[in-house]
């Protein structure tokens, strides 16, 4: 099959609608609009790849597309991307999926390696502490669903909103660290405490989470979440 390459050395089908192969030294890449399919193992040799942005035109992402991409941490998808919920776990175990919409960025899926059954299945390094990338403004509902290995999440300075149900079934999640002096909006405050919501029968200590906030901002967070008794601690800076 006749192919062509772009300025980054990425090999395309002659029509430009398929990506065949990417060079091993690629670190960041924006897949151009018009690409409809990324072939199996197309980025498999890219062990330095940290971030990739997919186009709205993408309709097919073949199995093992990002196999061995151990450095990959961010997959950016536009709102209209057809394959958003077809991202099966083995594709990129350590990467979170971020959706872009009108220049806003939403974390829609945490790394699969934060879930014990997937980490064991893939023999992946387990993710217990996760730092949400800067630029993310919203944490979508169920973004961290079933991330039973997570013990701590560090949110970016750009965070504006945490949606309801963001931390469902995260039994080991004990620390939520915020970096903004003013708290983001919380669509459902109960997610910050626990995800069982069965307060009558559950011992309070089982679900206690620590909110780490910037120095001098504990009272602001306490006021925002005044209907709950929370353990809020300030960081040193």
What does residue 212 show for φ and ψ, rounded to 5 degrees?
A: -95, 125
Query: The whole model's pTM is what?
Result: 0.85
Return the domain boundaries, the chain.
1-92, 97-237
pLDDT, mean of residues 12-21:
94
Structure tokens at 232: 């809020």
Q: Which of 165, 162, 120, 167 is nearest to 144 (CA)?
A: 167
| pLDDT recorded at residue 18 | 95
What does residue 20 show for φ and ψ, rounded to 5 degrees?
A: -95, -50
Angle 214-220-225 from CA coordinates, rounded to 5° = 110
Q: Given pLDDT bands bounded at 50, 70 and 90, which one contains residue 228? A: confident
Fold of 97-237: 3.80.10
Between residues 53 and 204, the one the model is more confident about: 53
In CATH terms, are 1-92 and 97-237 the same topology?
yes
Angle 48-53-54 from CA coordinates, rounded to 5° = 125
Q: In what order do the strands lie in the sheet with 96-101?
A: 28-30, 51-53, 74-78, 96-101, 104-109, 138-139, 161-162, 185-186
What is the CATH number that goes with domain 1-92? 3.80.10.10
pLDDT tens-digit map of 155-183: 999 999 999 889 999 999 999 999 999 99
Cβ atoms within 10 Å, residue 197: 12
| pLDDT recorded at residue 90 | 53
pLDDT tens-digit map of 100-109: 887 789 998 8
| pLDDT recorded at residue 82 | 62
What does residue 54 show for φ and ψ, rounded to 5 degrees?
A: -100, 155
């Amino acid at each position: 099959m006749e192919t062509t390459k772009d300025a980054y050395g990425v090999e395309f089908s002659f029509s430009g609608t398929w990506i065949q192969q990417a060079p091993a030294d690629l670190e960041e890449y924006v897949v151009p609009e018009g690409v409809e399919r990324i072939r199996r193992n197309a980025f498999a040799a890219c062990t330095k790849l940290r971030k990739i942005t997919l186009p709205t035109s993408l309709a097919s992402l073949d199995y093992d597309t990002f196999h061995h991409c151990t450095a990959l941490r961010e997959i950016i998808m536009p709102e209209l991307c057809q394959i958003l919920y077809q991202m099966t776990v083995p594709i990129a175990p350590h990467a979170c999926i971020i959706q872009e919409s009108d220049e806003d960025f939403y974390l829609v899926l945490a790394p699969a390696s934060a879930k014990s059954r997937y980490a064991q299945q893939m023999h992946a390094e387990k993710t217990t502490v996760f730092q949400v990338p800067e630029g993310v403004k919203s944490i979508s509902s169920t973004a961290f669903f079933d991330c039973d290995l997570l013990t701590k999440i560090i949110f970016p300075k750009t965070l504006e909103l945490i949606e309801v149900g963001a931390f469902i079934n995260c039994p080991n999640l004990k620390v939520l660290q915020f970096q903004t002096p003013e708290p983001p909006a919380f669509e459902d405050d109960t997610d910050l405490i626990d995800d069982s919501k069965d307060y009558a029968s559950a011992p309070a200590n089982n679900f206690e989470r620590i909110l780490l906030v910037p120095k001098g901002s504990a009272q602001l967070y306490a006021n925002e979440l005044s209907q709950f008794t929370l353990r809020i601690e300030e960081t040193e800076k």
